[in-house]
Amino acid sequence: MDRIEHRACFGGWQHVYRHHAKSLDCETTFGVYLPPQAEQRSCPVLYWLSGLTCTEQNFITKAGAQRYAAEHGVILVAPDTSPRGAGVADAEGYDLGIGAGFYVDATQAPWSKHYRMFDYVSRELPDLIEAQFPATKARAISGHSMGGHGALVVALKNPGRYRSVSAFSPIVAPTQVPWGQKAFAAYLGEDREAWKAWDATALIASAPERLPLLVDQGEADEFLATQLQPQRLREACEAVGHPLELRMQPGYDHSYYFIASFIGDHIAHHAAALKA
C-alpha cells in the first residue's frame, strides 16, 4: 500500500493510497480522511461510493465532507468507482466500463475478471481499513447516483454489517432504467431475474434488517424522471413498512453543489448511528 497524497485538513489528514486489490485483480486507489480524534483513539468509518465517471477525487475535493467528519470524529473512506489500468475491459461511452463499475460482481466475460466492485467495497476494502488504520468495526455507507445505488444495495445485502445508510440522487431501480439496464446486461447477462439481486427496490421486500434509509433528491435533477425515479423506492418501502426518509430538495440538481449543501446532515445522521 503506497501513500500518494497527504494533506492537512480540518485538524486531521486527507490521504490517498494505491494498492493491489485482489477482488479487482488490479491496482486501485482510495481516499481516507483521518479526523483529529484518530490521533488519540480508533474511530468509526463512513464509506462513500461515487457516481458515474468519478474517482475518489470528486468526493474528497468537492463535497466539503472533512469539516463534518472532523466535528463528529468519523473516518471517511472513498474508493474509486471501477477497476482501471492495462488489460481492464472498457467500452465506449461513460456509462459502461471504466468509471462505471455499478458496485456489482460481474459474471460475464470480459467484465468478470476485474469488475467485482461489490466484493471490493463490502469486504476487501473494510478489512484493509480496519487492519491498517485506527478504525473500529462500526461502519456506515453512503453514495451519490450510481454510488447511491451501490450504498443501498451493499447495505441491504449485508444485514448487520452497517449501522446506517444514506444516498444522494440514487439509481434506486437500475433494472427499470436505461443506465442500469445497459450495465446489468453487460456485467450480469440477459437473465433479468438475476438483475433483481442488485436492485434496491427489489431487495427491500425481503430485507431481513429494517435499516432506516435517508435519501436526498434534487427536484431540478436532469436525471430525475429518466434514470433515478425515487418514487419507486418510496413505493417499495411503503409496501413492506421499511423506514425511509426521502427528502425532495427544490432547486437542486445532480451536481456536487447539491451534495455539499446536505453532506453535513448525512454525516450527522451517520455519526449518531455509529456512536449509538
Residues marked as catalytic: 145, 221, 254
What ranges make up the beta strands (E) of 43-189? Answer: 43-49, 75-79, 135-143, 164-168
The half-sphere exposure of 223 on its side-chain side, counting CA atoms within 13 A, is 21
Dist. CA 100–CA 94, nearest whole Å = 7
Task: From residue 202, give the alpha-carbon distance in Å to each of 70, 95, 236.
Answer: 36, 22, 8
Dist. CA 250–CA 229, nearest whole Å = 16
Task: From residue 231, give the alpha-carbon distance in Å to each of 169, 225, 227, 234.
Answer: 12, 10, 12, 5
Cβ-defined contacts of 190-196 (< 8 Å, 24+)? 194/107
Q: How far out from the chain centre does Cα 218 lie?
A: 18
For cell 483521518, the residue is 34
